[in-house]
């Protein structure tokens, strides 16, 4: 069988306890002993058994990463790999491993999380989303298991560690940006309102309008479900209004391009006839026509910092609640036009 700590102990003429301490690099072991034991470990090609170590030590050095597999746009292509990259980068340098959730439905995810926690599979959990009335999060909070989330929690904000962008502000600034270009009629195509990110971006849009003394007009707000089911029709209705918008804020680059495509089908050009700004700065948005003005939300940092918050919680007994908004950058490209001097 595989070589164990006992084999190493015999070969090095020490006790298993000592070998164990050498593995953990305990300061209580003399340098000579360490060297000798390590030499034997190398020679015997010893590797610690992960499961045995976890069982005895009651920790796993593993973090659970829970993704929302759903159809939510927020978790479409570009977000996921990048946030994972951030988490991995931070995990790797802290000697942590990553256990990924596999469930597809909310119910499956919930069950998985419970079994991760109860079965002691992981030391802490990162939720890669924040959803309204999330049972999974409620559970984690209730049992006081270390966790953090990427996304602002819907409630109890003060009692939960999280990393997010300041979506309300970003959204408000977008309105601001468009207003400075002369736009007074700004539509908004939102995301799935089960997710807090969508709620915040919508809220920021409303606040932005208010600050500029513009009215929120319900016809200017296209809901996620309408956009998905009605497709081009939703855009057509928007543009057929007596006073059609001169600018659109889309909650994601993919959606922005879908809109642009529909507009094109309706013989409306971006940015000549209408301006469009968006969120997330996908890899393609730089190369594609028109190059999209969009907000880079620093996805890598989101993941990286979430992981760091988690280690802090796992390490200490008293749970420190922290949150942080990762800065974002508006990338100005070519999907907006100033209409200041037209009127």
- Per-residue binder mask for DNA (CB under 7 A), 56-85, x = binder: xxx---------------------------
Segment interacting with DNA (CB under 7 A) among 41-49, 183-191, 257-265, 320-328: 41-49
Asked if residues 180 and 332 have their Cβ atoms less than 8 Å apart, the reply is: no
Q: Could you say whether residue 16 binds DNA (CB under 7 A)?
A: yes
Asked if residues 126 and 149 have their Cβ atoms less than 8 Å apart, the reply is: yes
> Residue 148 pairs with which residues in a beta bridge?
126
| Burial of 41 (C-beta count, 10 Å sphere; 0-12/13-18/19+) | buried
Binding to a second copy in span 269-328, by CB under 8 A: 282-284, 287-289
> Residue 331 pairs with which residues in a beta bridge?
294
Q: Could you say whether residue 54 binds a second copy (CB under 8 A)?
A: yes
CA dist 27 and 164 (Å) reads 39
Please give the size of the binding site for DNA, defined by CB under 7 A: 32
Segment interacting with a second copy (CB under 8 A) among 115-123, 222-230, 235-243, 334-342: 115-123
Written as six digits, the tokens of 214 are 């513009």
In the bound state with DNA, the residue whose beta carbon lies nearer, of 30 and 105, is 30
Q: For 23, list phi and psi in degrees, rounded to 5.
A: -60, -45
SS3 16: helix
Written as six digits, the tokens of 232 are 């081009």
Q: How far is the CB of 50 from a second copy (least distance, A)?
A: 4
Q: Could you say whether residue 143 binds a second copy (CB under 8 A)?
A: no
Among 24, 26, 50, 107, interactor with a second copy by CB under 8 A? 50
CA dist 194 and 191 (Å) reads 9
Q: Could you say whether residue 52 binds a second copy (CB under 8 A)?
A: yes
In the bound state with DNA, the residue whose beta carbon lies nearer, of 45 and 240, is 45
SS3 187: strand
Which residue ranges make up the site for a second copy (CB under 8 A)? 2, 45, 47-52, 54-55, 60, 62, 65, 69, 75-78, 80-82, 84-85, 88-89, 91-92, 96-104, 108, 114-115, 118-121, 253-254, 257-258, 260-261, 264, 282-284, 287-289
């Amino acid at each position: 069988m595989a070589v164990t700590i006992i084999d190493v102990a015999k070969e090095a003429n020490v006790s298993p306890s000592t070998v164990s301490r050498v593995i953990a690099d305990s300061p209580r072991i003399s340098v000579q002993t360490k060297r000798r034991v390590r030499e034997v470990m190398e020679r015997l090609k010893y590797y610690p058994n992960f499961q045995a170590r976890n069982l005895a030590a009651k920790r796993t050095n593993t973090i659970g990463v829970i993704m929302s597999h759903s159809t939510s746009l927020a978790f479409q292509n570009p977000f996921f790999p990048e946030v994972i990259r951030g988490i991995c980068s931070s995990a790797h340098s802290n000697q942590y491993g990553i256990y990924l959730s596999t469930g597809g439905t909310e119910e499956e995810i919930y069950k998985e999380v419970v079994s991760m926690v109860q079965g002691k599979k992981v030391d802490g959990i990162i939720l890669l989303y924040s959803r309204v009335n999330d049972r999974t999060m409620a559970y984690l909070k209730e049992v006081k298991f270390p966790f953090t989330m990427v996304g602002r929690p819907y409630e109890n904000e003060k009692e939960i560690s999280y990393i997010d962008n300041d979506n309300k502000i970003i959204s408000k600034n977008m309105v601001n940006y468009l207003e400075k270009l002369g736009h007074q009629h700004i539509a908004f195509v939102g995301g799935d309102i089960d997710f807090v990110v969508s709620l915040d971006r919508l809220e920021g849009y409303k606040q932005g309008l208010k600050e500029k003394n513009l009215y929120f007009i319900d016809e200017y707000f296209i809901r996620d479900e309408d956009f998905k089911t009605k497709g081009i029709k939703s855009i057509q209705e928007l543009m057929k209004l007596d006073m059609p918008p001169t600018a659109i804020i889309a909650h994601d680059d993919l959606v922005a391009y879908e809109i642009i495509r529909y507009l094109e089908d309706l013989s409306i050009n971006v940015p000549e006839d209408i301006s469009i700004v968006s969120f997330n700065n996908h890899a393609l948005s730089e190369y594609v026509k028109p190059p999209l003005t969009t907000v880079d939300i620093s996805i890598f940092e989101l993941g990286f910092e979430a992981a760091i918050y988690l280690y802090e919680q796992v390490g200490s007994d008293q749970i420190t609640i922290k949150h942080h908004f990762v800065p974002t950058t508006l990338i100005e490209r070519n999907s907006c036009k100033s209409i200041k001097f037209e009127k």
